[in-house]
Amino acid sequence: MFTGIVEELARIKTIEAKTQGIRFTVSAKTVMDDLKIGDSILVNGVCLTIVSKKKDSFCMDLVEETLNKSNLGELIVGDYVNLERAMKVSDRFGGHIVQGHVETVGVILDKQTQDDEAMISIGLDPEWMRYCIPKGSITLDGVSLTIAAINGNIVEIALIPYTLENTTLGIKGKSDTLNIETDIIGKYIDRLLIIDGEDSEIDTNILKAIRHIQYGES
């Protein structure tokens, strides 16, 4: 699990094509001190697994599902990515619950900068708007943020100077894409309401098999 508090803005060192998917090598500093092979790490909002590690870099394999559901396939060598290690139980919970399971890709429709701050407008597939509320949480490229306003299928986000300086959101502009993960709490509530209001069909054969395993029923 993650919290959407970016630890490091790092760069892609190499991209290697594989039989299925691709392999990213990322050059990093801050996250390297306790990173181990097999660890999970959030890369632009996508939860990936470390498959190899050197002193100043690490590798991750991206499968087709990841490439289809996120914008990681658009990246090239030298691009910056947001990194966050999985949280420890003893950590402060600075953002919100982030799983690293990107649901969709949004598009920056507008970015207005004033002094050191910015306001971005992001267009989303209407399917995901049901999980967005004003002042609610949303994850953009792995960054935990608060929705300032909603207009149809457009969400507006205010960005403070620190976020602009320390994440990819300071680099990205109009027409760029963002990995989107909506608030898991809203999704659970939605699922509970759907189940409560529908007559789900039960496969009796599967039910019998489960009861046989659990209770020895025939």
Q: Are 64 and 18 within 8 A, CB to CB? A: no
Q: In which band, very low, low, confident or very high, does the pLDDT at 201 lie, cut at 50, 70 and 90?
A: low
Yes or no: say if 154 and 120 are a contact pair by the CB < 8 Å rule. no
* pLDDT tens, position by position, 74-116: 999 999 999 999 988 777 778 888 999 999 999 999 999 988 8
Residue 199 has pLDDT above 60, yes or no: no
- Assigned token pair, 188: 């659970």
Task: Report the pLDDT value the prediction gives residue 197, as an integer from 0 to 100.
Answer: 56
Tokens 């919970």, located at residue:
93
- 128-158 as b/e, with b when 16 or more CB fall inside 10 Å? beebbeeebbbbbbbbbbebeeeeeebbbbe
Residue 13 belongs to what H/E stretch?
A: strand 8-17
Six-digit token string for 119: 């306001």
Amino acid at the residue 92:
R
Q: State the chain's mean pLDDT as an integer.
A: 91
Q: Which of 59, 63, 40 is nearest to 51 (CA)?
A: 59
Task: Say if residues 217 and 207 touch (Cβ distance below 8 Å).
Answer: no
Give the residue carrying structure tokens 């529908």: 198
**Residue 205: pLDDT above 60?**
yes
* Token pair belonging to 42: 């959030």
What does pTM read for this prediction?
Answer: 0.86
Q: What is the predicted pLDDT for the residue at 190? A: 86
pLDDT in tens, 8-24: 999 999 999 988 899 99
Q: Which residues pair with 84 in a beta bridge?
A: 42
CA dihedral 17, 45, 47, 131 (to 10 degrees): -130
Q: With residue 67 as reference, give the H or E element that holds it.
A: helix 64-69
Count of residues making up the chain: 218
The pLDDT assigned to 218 comes to 62
The predicted pLDDT at position 196 comes to 63
User: 211 or 59: whose pLDDT is higher?
Assistant: 59
pLDDT for 122-175, tens place per residue? 999 999 999 999 999 999 999 999 999 999 999 999 999 999 999 999 999 999
